[in-house]
Structure 1
Amino acid sequence: MKIVIMAGGSGSRLWPKSRKDKPKQFTKVVGGKTMIEDTYARFVDHFSVDAIYFSTIPSFEKRIKELFPDIDGSHIIVEPEKRDNAAAHGYVAAYLSLTDENEPLAFIPSDHYIKDVEKFNITLKVAEEHIKSTGNMLDIAIEPSFPSTVLGYTHIGKHIETSEGVEIYEFLGHTEKPEFSVAKEYVDDGSYLWHGNYYMWTPKKFLEAYKKYAPSIYAHLEKIQHLLKDGDLDAIPGEYAQIEETTIDFAITEKMDPNEVRILKGDFGWSDIGAWDMVHDLLSYDYDQDQNVIKAKHVSVDTSGSYVSAPKGKLIATIGVDDLIIVDTPDALLVCPKSRAQDVKKVVEELKNRGEEDYI
């Protein structure tokens, strides 16, 4: 199986640490390594370096080469520009189809936290064998612990089998980022899991799905596939720029026959590090006596349940506040209630509207 670490995203909800020139996958948010380094480290003891690839955009290519000097340049798949993940996944499938169109591949987000790395890799191995034996697309979904409105939900059907401790289920459908009331119903129902976004299949099967369910996207991917094969690389950006900006969920998986898909239940201590409230919760092992996570020189008076981060040498003092997010950087400061952490992306949107590119 080929492992493809997806590293072209922006991570606007972790602003102001996550910026367009240095998004969250290249920042140290949890632990002493960047997120992308943590992601890569999960695989080095379980897959050969030759099986690991990165998918990114031109502005991040140099940084990936610096972080991972052992990775061959041909294993850094550089999309011509950022055009959401339907284009990115399709481009990777077209690229890898030229080496072995029938070898399973796994798309791996670069900004997830995995507690049990061994169990995670066992889950991938089970997926690989299932793809080879059935031809199904595989995805991983996770038991929800609260009603999230920023994650997608996977509806599972009957239990099919258990392999090496990994449960495999029927796929009944996918819902992207529901309203809170709907998310609560899903969690109470028990047959809806958080969508992990770990799509696994073969390059050939992915491209066939684009052809069937997203023919307008496939038309460009087919041309790109031929351009890659012929070595006509200069013509690829113009073709890629015509691909619709949408997600692979909307383009393909929500339209697929459920019988083509199987769901692996992920039981390995998972979190999508998507916003500052999640960072606070993940760092519970670092709580002080008042459940604060402090990454700064800090003076606290009656402060609890808060996350405080600041550059070295900056003192932060808090008085009488609870459940607050404070993230200070050299040029920007964020202060918000933990309950509004998902709205940080609105700040980034407002900065875009104002033309404040230096702060994005």
Structure 2
Amino acid sequence: MLCALIMAGGKGTRFWPLSTEEKPKQFLNLIGKETMIQMTVERIKPIIPIDRIFICTGQMYVDLVKEQLPNLPDRNIIIEPEGRNTAPCIALSAFIIKKYYKNSNMVVLPSDHLIKDEEEFRNVIQSGDEFVSTNEEAIITLGMQPTRAETGYGYIRYGNEERKRNEHSVIKVDAFVEKPNKEKAKRYLKEGNYLWNGGMFIWSVDNILKQINMYSNETYKALQNIENAKEDQLQKIINQNYKNTDAISIDYAVLEKSNDIYVIPSNFGWDDVGSWEALDRYREKDEAGNVLVGSAKVVHSESNLVVSSSHDIVVEGLKDIYVIENDGKILVGPKSNVKNVKELKNII
């Protein structure tokens, strides 16, 4: 039985000022008509019903989750008392999923990524689910085929030990590699045995808890009472003990130490939508190459990025600029500098 954990506690600071701490990017409709978290849930519902989809988020976002996912059971909203990185988030969620679905597998997904080929995405997940069902000690990660020498992503280096599951290769991981500089990224692309690390995993609930117990024991000890907690005492136990977990990523806590890590090379049109440049790449453009979001219009203008959340914006006679408005804050600059928007936060 496969369950899904969607991690939705991030603050989305790279999309400021549109994304704010009060309403980060996973709750915005950056790419299409649905919000990012709605898109994430909809793409996995054909293989995982809503009662087996769990959302881990912070208390301040619970109302947003309920508003945007009204069919999600309340018990499936896992509330972190504070953000302490992905290892405690995954451990907490695994203990809760185990309460309701013993002997289950879980796929871990970020809440704010773009997947173009959703059918192939689901096929990959099902192949990974089948693999861990017959290889109980295995941890699967999804590695994206790189299309450019990207310096903003971590990489996965894989070796020669390959198996097949359906039409997908399942390959033993040699190492997880930090974000490289440009020269290293070019070398990784040339060598061909490196994949982008998209932060998506498949494992059995029992196995990930076993691994966390081995390699991040303080986290395991802090949360182990969840398994036998009564429903009305569950959040109280979480609130009392979550601060005692190790504030560390799952990569450092487990993946770099475990011996049974495998990767499925994946090609389903992935992007983490982590920058304004990504929005410009994937959002639908008009005939003149303008990206227009919200109440935005252009006249005799081309190749602009114009984003409005609450005010009317008209751009006339301009090319290759960005205009970003949120709650009365308006930022304007050359589109080539849109990656620097966050640096303006202390000025406006």
Answer whether TM exceeds 0.5 for this pair.
yes
1:244 pairs, out of 246, 249, 263, with 246
In 1, are the aligned partners of 2:223 and 2:238 still within 8 Å (CA)? no
1:289-343 deviation per Cα after TM superposition (whole angstroms, max 9, x unaligned):
3x33233112345x43x32212465234365643x43211233223455555444
Query: Are 2:145 and 1:143 equivalent residues in the alignment?
Result: yes
User: Distance in 1 between the 2:90 and 2:32 partners?
Assistant: 29
Q: Secondary structure at the match of 2:196?
A: strand
Residue matched to 2:104: 103
Q: Secondary structure at the match of 2:199?
A: coil
In 1, are the aligned partners of 2:310 and 2:326 still within 8 Å (CA)? no
Pairwise CA distance, 1:287: 4.5
User: Distance in 1 between the 2:287 and 2:172 partners?
Assistant: 43
Residue matched to 1:271: 271
Residue matched to 1:200: 202
1:157-187 deviation per Cα after TM superposition (whole angstroms, max 9, x unaligned):
1261333332221211112322233222222
Residue matched to 1:286: 285
Task: Give the TM-score taking structure 2 as reference length.
Answer: 0.90
Cα 1:319–1:49 change in 2 (3 A) is: same
Query: Are 2:26 and 1:25 equivalent residues in the alignment?
Result: yes
Residue matched to 1:298: 298
Residue matched to 1:355: none
CA RMSD of aligned residues (A): 2.4
Cα 1:179–1:342 change in 2 (3 A) is: farther
Gaps of 5+ in 2: none
User: Distance in 2 between the 1:277 and 1:159 partners?
Assistant: 37
Task: Give the TM-score taking structure 1 as reference length.
Answer: 0.87
Residue matched to 2:313: 315
Q: Secondary structure at the match of 1:162?
A: strand
Q: What letter matches 1:288 in structure 2?
A: E
Gaps of 5+ in 1: 352-358
Matches within 5 A, 1:74-113: 74-113=75-114
Pairwise CA distance, 1:344: 4.0
Residue matched to 1:256: 258
In 2, are the aligned partners of 1:224 and 1:240 still within 8 Å (CA)? no
Pairwise CA distance, 1:230: 9.0
Q: What letter matches 2:123 in structure 1?
A: I
User: Distance in 2 between the 1:179 and 1:74 partners?
Assistant: 43
User: Distance in 2 between the 1:309 and 1:197 partners?
Assistant: 28
1:177 pairs, out of 172, 176, 179, with 179
User: Distance in 1 between the 2:178 and 2:10 partners?
Assistant: 18
1:39-58 deviation per Cα after TM superposition (whole angstroms, max 9, x unaligned):
11112222222222211111
1:231-260 deviation per Cα after TM superposition (whole angstroms, max 9, x unaligned):
354242131123232211122212222xx1
User: Distance in 2 between the 1:210 and 1:335 partners?
Assistant: 46
User: Distance in 1 between the 2:234 and 2:29 partners?
Assistant: 38
Q: Secondary structure at the match of 2:223?
A: helix
User: Distance in 2 between the 1:276 and 1:332 partners?
Assistant: 16
Q: What letter matches 1:66 in structure 2?
A: E
When the two structures are aligned, how many residues end up with a matched partner?
344
Matches within 5 A, 1:4-43: 4-43=5-44
Residue matched to 2:46: 45
2:328 pairs, out of 326, 331, 337, with 331
Residue matched to 1:219: 221
Residue matched to 1:114: 115
User: Distance in 1 between the 2:291 and 2:103 partners?
Assistant: 47
Q: Secondary structure at the match of 1:102?
A: coil
How high is the sequence identity, in percent, across the aligned residues?
28
Q: Secondary structure at the match of 2:141?
A: strand
Q: Secondary structure at the match of 1:197?
A: strand
Cα 1:222–1:345 change in 2 (3 A) is: farther
